[in-house]
Structure 1
Amino acid sequence: MTIKRLLLGLLLLLVAALAALFFAFFERYTEEVDRGWGAEAWRNPYLAAEQFLTRAGVQARRADNIAVLAELAPDDTLFLASSSQVYNPQRARELLDWVERGGHAIVVAHTAGYEERDWLLEQLQVTLAEGREDYIFEHPFQQLLGDDGAEYRGKSASEILREHNRRLREGDSGAGTEEDAPAEEAKPPRNPDVDPQDLITLASDDGGSYQLHFDASYLLQHPALGGGEETVKSGAEPVFWARIWRDDAGVPFMQFERGEGLITLLADGGIWRSRRIGHFDHAYFLALLAADGEFVFLTQPRFASLFELARRYAREFFLAGSLALLAWLLLRARRFGPLAPAPQPARRSLLEHIAACGHYYWRADRCERLLHSQRSAMLRRLGGEHASKATRRQLCIELGNATGLSESNIAACLWGDLPRSEEAFTAHMRNLQQIEAAL
């Protein structure tokens, strides 16, 4: 018993020593791994803009189509990723009416195709024309490559990553002593390297300034900016615009005042996409344009899928199907009068067929005509159609001798009244057949 207690005590001491060593050398640290964009970020290119506005205290949400205008308040802000979403004159009129009540619309001009009309731009007398030079977009690996991104242009993503990893390995293998260790790399710049003359510098309300970098591939043109002879409509004159180059007739964005509201028209809506909203002061510009109310993103029309519609209306679908099935069962179960006997599967005999035909003719009052025609043919053969009583008596005597029938039966068959029962009809027809056979 003592040995067992000693072994138990040694085991407890060993566990305590291991726990002490663990807590003495254990060090907790946190490492953040960037796994790239998630599925929601790939589906929604303006997700970063929505999150930025939410953190700035502005309520932001997405909408499916331009019909959201009926739900917006006068102090809300509506962002249209393409002016083509105002697809008819009625929608353009609704948008302008909402702006006149105090709304703020931010619209990205759409490049119209052949024979395609842009109703909103026509109302504002704005046209979209090509700029002076092509815009060079930021390379997707710009944050990874830093200032060395120029030499990777024209290569695929896999080639760029392999080259970058090779340089990292060579740098690690060449690090020998502590003096030869490379210095800590500087953080890559937030803004892309662009020509300063391609930037737009605007003054802020606090006396400072902010810079914007627009895509100059397409620019907005308006008769009020000069270079046009078209008359400007009332309310279609821009109140503010900014130029990239002083001698250019087009501008990247302009603003119109309509009633109590404002319309901001852009030639480049990519400044607020997730890849570019962090460059320069694009996010600050978005916050300045946001009104006091809700900010609604109308990026692209989204229609519910078949599965989503089935899940949304499953209850109504099954209820309607059940009612339709019940109505069909009630319709099939309804009948009038007693249940008819099931027809015999075997074919009836000739005698049954003759009997059925006879019953049919009797019910249709066709037996009297049949008997009358048969008797008329017999009298014509005998020559007794208009015979006197003496002649009729003589014919009855002769036919009685030939057929064995009584004179009264023969007279009743040839000149008597038509039968009124099935038995009398059958007897008359039988007598007529005997007379015809005797002739």
Structure 2
Amino acid sequence: MSRSTRWLLGALALLVGAAVAWYLYQNLRPYPEKIEHGASPEARANPYLAAERFLRGRGLQVDSAKGLEVLDGLPSQGHTLVLLGSRENVTPAQNRALLDWTRRGGHLIVTAERLWDEKDGKSGDLLLDPLGIQQYLTEDLDKGASADKPEADGEAAPPGKVPPPKGVEQPASPAADPAKAEEEEDEDSYPDLTKLYLENEQAPAYIGFDTEYHLYDSKNLAYAWANSHDATHLLQLQLGDGLVTVLTDNWIWQTANLDAYDNAWLLWYLTQDSAVTLVYRADGDSLLNLLLRNYPQALLALALLLALALWRAGLRQGPLQPVPSRARRQLVEHLRAGADFLLRQRGHVALVQGLQRDVLRRARQRQPGFERLPIAEQWQLLGRMTRLPVSAISQAMRPYPAPRMSAAEFTRQVAHLQSLRNAL
């Protein structure tokens, strides 16, 4: 190839490369792509993880607990306890401890879990029944209630009546004027949202509570509440030096619903200026915890009795063998130990083959050229040298294809080989 041809091909390759680069520059455009990997394992395991981090982001001290055992060392003053787990298995003693903790100045936020049973006169909720907080289905509010019956001053409204909206901190309610309340009710654009009115605020906060449930203060102890169009979803009452906030549901603070409406704001508003403890499980005490708390001496005695029984069962039966002296040097023990080691490592057949090789070695020493003879002639020659029958020699010198043999056969074979070796 000539020099001019090479230059021409190089220039052509350069032009093709430049054309490809220009095409790519004109047509290729970078673009971002967002790949959703889903929630982390920590978020899937804890539906309230976003709420916990939200409160920490607002500068609050937030702790989490898996059970009500945290109540034993939790101070009341300046603390808010939020029960997020089911209270189905909470014991009466734990319910009394929760109320006592609140009376000492704590703030308890709890969710009503059971409906009020008119026939039994209770709901079975050992925490809310003593406070007179009853929960109904919204569709059952008007059953058994007379709409035309006037209410006496100071009496609690029946389940079918919804009190006017109020805030959590003694707000000035815009519903003080009946005409204005009726006008606002007619103009309510969000009847399914719970409205929380605050003092000095022109518009309420909107919370996405479940409208299927309604809270009723049968003892008229609540001083603040929040309503949707048809039901009450938040009640707040004082208990001793503390405060109890009752909700119809706490799913509004789960990760999927925390950013909807003013749900996150309500969580911050109820817990502001306090240390917060989130209880994810409110199960009753286990049997072991109850025994440790009420019968520690009995458990200690049982443990000592078990230790003594194990010590008694572990005693030796019969006299102790004396400890062998470290200075012993008996050849028989070394030989026996060596034989046991070879037997464990190599097996019976290997030991027998070792004796057979020793017999052949002695025969070669007495008769030169012995190894070149056929097997039959070797056995006959061994018979003449040892004066033993050929049958005994063949039985002793025959090979053993099996990897192991019985103890009786091994003993008999070793005796034949030793007799043959001694005769040589």
- Larger Cα-atom Rg: 1
TM range, smaller chain: 0.3 to 0.5
